[in-house]
Amino acid sequence: MKDLINKLSKAYELSDVVYQRPNFTYATANKENVISLITQLRDLEGFSHFVLLSCVDWIEDNIFQLSYILNNPTQKYDLAIRCMIDRKEATMTSAHHLWEQIATYQRELKEMYGIEFPDSPRLNEDFILEGWDDIPPMRREFDTKKFSEETFFPRERPQSNDPATYMKNKMHPDEWDNTPSSKG
């Protein structure tokens, strides 16, 4: 597998190669190279199966990390190609022409992170959320607790107790006194 990575590195300037497991490798590519890289992987290197496309929000570095995970079913080998895209203009070339199901992942990413994939089919339709009009909820600047409190009529939550202490107090109040006040 290292041969493959080495070969690809020359052509595609791979960086941050991590041999995670004997059959799983990470590599990072440039945003511009990713599509041609996975095209080559699919067509020439036998990575015929697309596993998933996911995203991580590195808000501190102001980037989104996209991971395309491919699988080579004959060699039983997985390869994850990562690429970093700018958070401000979160746009990535669509890859739905390679595997049709990528369009669905891209819809999800569009809905959850607001990443644009121009020309991806049905990209702007609601995917999981119906009638969502706020900023995409998986972006880390979205404060979900605040949103929930504003929206969902939160009930007064009871004072949280440590269940173990609570039960002990309730069932064996005499065994020993473990309240801080009595101790002190």
Partner 1 sequence: MSEEKNIEQPSKQAKTFENPYYAKREVTGPDGQKFIVDPMKDYFSDECPTVHEPNSIPVVEKFLNWARAESLWVLGFGTGCGSIEIGPLLTPRFDAFRYGVMPRPTPRQSNVFIISGYLAVKTLKRVIRSYEQMPNPKYVLALGSCTINGGMYYDSYNTINRLDQYIPVDAYVAGCMPRPEALLAGFNKLKELIKAGKAENANEYAKNFDWYKANQKKIIKDWNMPDYNW
d(CA 117, CA 112): 13
In the complex, what is the shortest distance from the CB of residue 101 to partner 1, in angstroms, rounded to a whole number? 22
CA 157 from chain center: how many Å?
31
Q: Tell me: does residue 60 bind partner 1 (CB under 8 A).
A: yes
Which residue's CB is nearer to partner 1, number 76 or number 88?
A: 88
Among 63, 65, 142, 168, binds partner 1 (CB under 8 A): 142
**CB contact set of 169 (below 8 Å; sequence gap of 6+):** 178
In the complex, what is the shortest distance from the CB of residue 51 to partner 1, in angstroms, rounded to a whole number? 26
In the complex, what is the shortest distance from the CB of residue 150 to partner 1, in angstroms, rounded to a whole number? 10
d(CA 75, CA 51): 15
Applying CB under 8 A, the span of 37-45, 73-81, 126-134, 163-171 interacting with partner 1 comes to: 126-134
**CB contact set of 142 (below 8 Å; sequence gap of 6+):** 134, 135, 136
Q: How many residues bind partner 1 (CB under 8 A)?
A: 30
CA 71 from chain center: how many Å?
18
Which residue's CB is nearer to partner 1, number 126 or number 177?
A: 126
Q: Tell me: does residue 154 bind partner 1 (CB under 8 A).
A: yes
Q: What is residue 145's three-state secondary structure? A: helix
Applying CB under 8 A, the span of 6-14, 32-40, 98-106, 125-133 interacting with partner 1 comes to: 125-133
Q: Tell me: does residue 11 bind partner 1 (CB under 8 A).
A: no
Q: What is residue 113's three-state secondary structure? A: helix
**CB contact set of 157 (below 8 Å; sequence gap of 6+):** none
Residue ranges in contact with partner 1 by CB under 8 A = 59-60, 62, 88, 114, 126, 128-137, 139, 141-142, 144-145, 147-149, 151-155, 157
